[in-house]
């Protein structure tokens, strides 16, 4: 096997170093000289010959084996600047530029949600995260990303794997912190029957989880797994989307509230369980729209049981296939928080509307830039962007863009 040397020119959107070719070199940084064995367009058995000044010692002992983090070898300052630049380059690719506010980064050990992989073994079970570009599970004993109160979910995943995983299958265990404790949703387990469901119910009590769901079926709710949005208490459906950290959520909501300003009527598109709708209802009437009926039911109940919020109306609607038309956008402002694919059809209608202000939340700089171009071409101005890093040490980037007529 022939080793070759390469000069790393830049970091790609997935966090790998890129040399001429292109050649992709994981865990490398711009300016470094590395050597390795080429496997297609990727370097294997890589060694760093000349280190970047931005290289640091990874704080986690599992970093080399666990694929959960990709950037612990880079300084916090480098990662912050790189994530802002990812957004800036995405906008530049469609001919846009704007002001960038200082990035908001969630602290160490603040992640309130994780998807844990677990397997049965001859001696019991193992739980952790996949190794890089692999289906092999790296078992972990500690984590610098997860909130300390989420760490017991690793042992819970092991226990559930012993009980309900086949020897060849893998459990996917979504664990979420709630006011009531750990909310556990399992997929990939063996099929439910009466006896197994009863066994799982007993296990839920023994493990002291707030709620246990198995392949979409709620097995037990010992304590309501409440999430708080402003003054409202919400019990999301099992596996429902939540922002990854409380600090990241607060940064996104604060930016969106600033953009909406003193608007008295707001439409919240892709509203989920109320991350933005319920805080906005402190000062404005809100119409929340989401494609999942269970999330709309949850949001509605949370609003009805809260005290002191302005009116929140809900509508279940597939905004990809059936976007809210421009003539129906009669509010003063909009908040939109689509999935990674963006919201091309809905953005076209926003562009045709008379809305004065739009807070555009995104977890994908490329689709955000595409949709932002539609709005700007229709007469909106992109006043500023707030980048939020709540997936610390990963390549994921989140942001809020402020649009005004």
b/e sequence 56-87, b meaning 16+ C-beta within 10 Å: bebebebbebbbbbbbbbbeeebbbebbbbbb
- Among 60, 143, 331, 363, which one carries the catalytic annotation? 363
Range 321-328 contact pairs with CB under 8 angstroms and sequence separation of 24 or more:
321/345, 323/348, 323/349, 324/267, 324/269, 324/289, 324/349, 325/349, 326/350, 326/351, 326/352, 326/353, 326/354
Sequential DSSP letters for 210-249: SEEEETTEEEEESS---EEETTEEE-PPTT----S-HHHH
User: How many Å apart are CA 214 and CA 186, to the nearest integer?
Assistant: 5
Rg (CA), the chain: 23
User: How many Å apart are CA 292 and CA 297, to the nearest integer?
Assistant: 9
For residue 148, CA distances in Å to 16, 62, 111, 116, 128 come to 29, 16, 9, 15, 15
Query: DSSP H helical segments within 94-229, as ranges?
Result: 152-164, 194-207
Q: What are the two backbone dihedrals, phi and then psi, of residue 331, each rounded to the nearest 5 degrees? A: -85, 175
For residue 268, CA distances in Å to 248, 316, 331, 355 come to 19, 12, 10, 13
Range 247-253 contact pairs with CB under 8 angstroms and sequence separation of 24 or more:
247/104, 247/106, 247/107, 247/110, 247/390, 248/104, 248/106, 248/388, 248/389, 248/390, 248/398, 249/275, 249/390, 251/104, 251/386, 251/388, 251/390, 252/276, 252/361, 252/386, 252/388, 252/398, 252/400, 253/279
In the three-class reduction of DSSP (H, G, I as helix; E, B as strand; rest coil), residue 192 is classed as coil
Give, as one character, the DSSP assignment of residue 156: H
Active site residue 363: yes
Q: Active-site positions?
A: 363
């Amino acid at each position: 096997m022939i080793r070759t040397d390469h000069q790393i020119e830049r970091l790609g959107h997935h966090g790998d170093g890129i040399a001429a070719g292109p050649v992709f070199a994981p865990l490398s940084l711009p300016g470094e000289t590395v050597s390795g064995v080429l496997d297609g367009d990727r370097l294997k058995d890589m060694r760093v010959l000349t280190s970047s000044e931005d290289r640091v010692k990874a704080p986690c002992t599992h970093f080399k084996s666990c694929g959960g983090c990709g950037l612990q070898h880079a300084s916090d300052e480098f990662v912050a600047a790189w994530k802002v630049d990812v957004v800036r380059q995405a906008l530049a690719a469609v001919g846009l530029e704007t002001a960038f506010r200082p990035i908001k980064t969630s602290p160490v050990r603040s992640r309130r949600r994780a998807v844990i992989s677990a397997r049965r073994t001859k001696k019991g079970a193992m739980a952790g995260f996949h190794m890089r570009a692999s289906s092999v599970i790296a078992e972990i004993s500690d984590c610098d990303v997860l909130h300390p109160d989420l760490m017991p979910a690793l042992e819970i995943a092991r226990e559930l794997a012993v009980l309900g995983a086949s020897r060849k299958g893998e459990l996917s265990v979504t664990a979420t912190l709630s006011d009531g404790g750990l909310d556990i949703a399992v997929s990939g387990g063996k099929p439910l029957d009466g006896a197994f469901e009863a066994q799982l119910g007993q296990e839920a009590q023994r493990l002291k989880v707030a709620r246990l769901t198995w392949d979409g079926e709620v097995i037990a709710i010992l304590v309501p797994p409440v999430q708080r949005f402003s003054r409202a208490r919400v019990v999301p459906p099992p596996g429902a989307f939540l922002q990854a950290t409380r600090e990241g959520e607060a940064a996104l909501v604060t930016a969106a509230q600033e953009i909406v300003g003193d608007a008295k009527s707001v439409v919240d598109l892709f509203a989920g369980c109320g991350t933005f709708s319920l805080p906005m209802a402190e000062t404005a009437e809100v119409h929340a729209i989401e494609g999942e009926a269970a999330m709309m039911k949850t949001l509605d109940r949370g609003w009805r049981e809260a005290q002191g919020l302005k009116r929140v109306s809900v509508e279940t609607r597939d905004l990809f296939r059936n976007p809210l038309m421009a003539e129906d956008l009669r509010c003063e402002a909009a908040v939109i928080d689509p999935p990674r694919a963006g919201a091309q059809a809905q953005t076209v209608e926003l562009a045709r509307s008379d809305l004065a202000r739009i807070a555009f939340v995104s977890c994908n700089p490329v689709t955000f830039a595409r949709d932002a171009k539609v709005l700007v071409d229709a007469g909106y101005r992109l006043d500023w962007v707030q980048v939020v890093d709540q997936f610390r040490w990963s390549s994921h980037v989140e942001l809020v863009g402020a649009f005004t007529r």
